[in-house]
Amino acid sequence: MTKNLHQISNYIASNSTFCLISHPHRSKVHTIISDKHGKVIYPNKPLKIIRNTCRLHGSSYEASNYNAKLFFGKSKHKLPIMVAYDFGDPCILFPLFSPHSSQNIWISLHAIVNINELGNETIVTFIDGSEERLPIHMKSFNHQYVRAAMYYKHLIAKRNSKL
């Protein structure tokens, strides 16, 4: 699958991003990036993309994670985070597994148009009609999705109250 993918040396997540999928390659973890332009491969972990995106926009992964913890309270793991404001709209990505896991997948809230269950997996349909089969129960996926949507609504309300 990855043999046909073009390798890139840099990537910044945005609301054009669909998902960032960890992909073991030899002794290293790479990232398969799916976005509105198709799929490419990046020679580092998805978390590096998340960190670089936060840094580019004047923040850090730690600060974004801290802000999510303030909103969610006791829940401290697998939090959705805002990596940027994309043309004034919060760009929210949520991890399916631990953000530091070599098997983690980050999903962009904005890219999802449908979710279906297939046994122990979840099939996500993105805004361009492409689908991704994910190794997670639909109940767990839905939990992460709802938390990301709640966080998005919170950020929008917070932004609007400052106007």
C-alpha angle 163/90/65, rounded to 5°?
A: 110
- Residue 143: domain span: 2-161
Decide: pTM greater than 0.85.
yes
Share of the chain above pLDDT 70, in %: 96
- The model's pLDDT over 119-146, given as tens digits with 9 standing for 90+, comes to 999 999 999 999 999 999 999 999 999 9
- What are the residues whose beta carbons fall under 8 Å from the beta carbon of 73, sequence distance 6 or more? none
Q: Identify the pLDDT of residue 1.
A: 52
Confidence of residue 56 (pLDDT cuts 50, 70, 90): very high
Q: Identify the pLDDT of residue 88.
A: 77
Reduced to 3 states (helix: H, G, I; strand: E, B; else coil), residue 154 is: helix
Q: How many domains does the chain have?
A: 1
Report which of 6, 8, 17 is spatially closest to residue 93, judged by C-alpha positions: 17
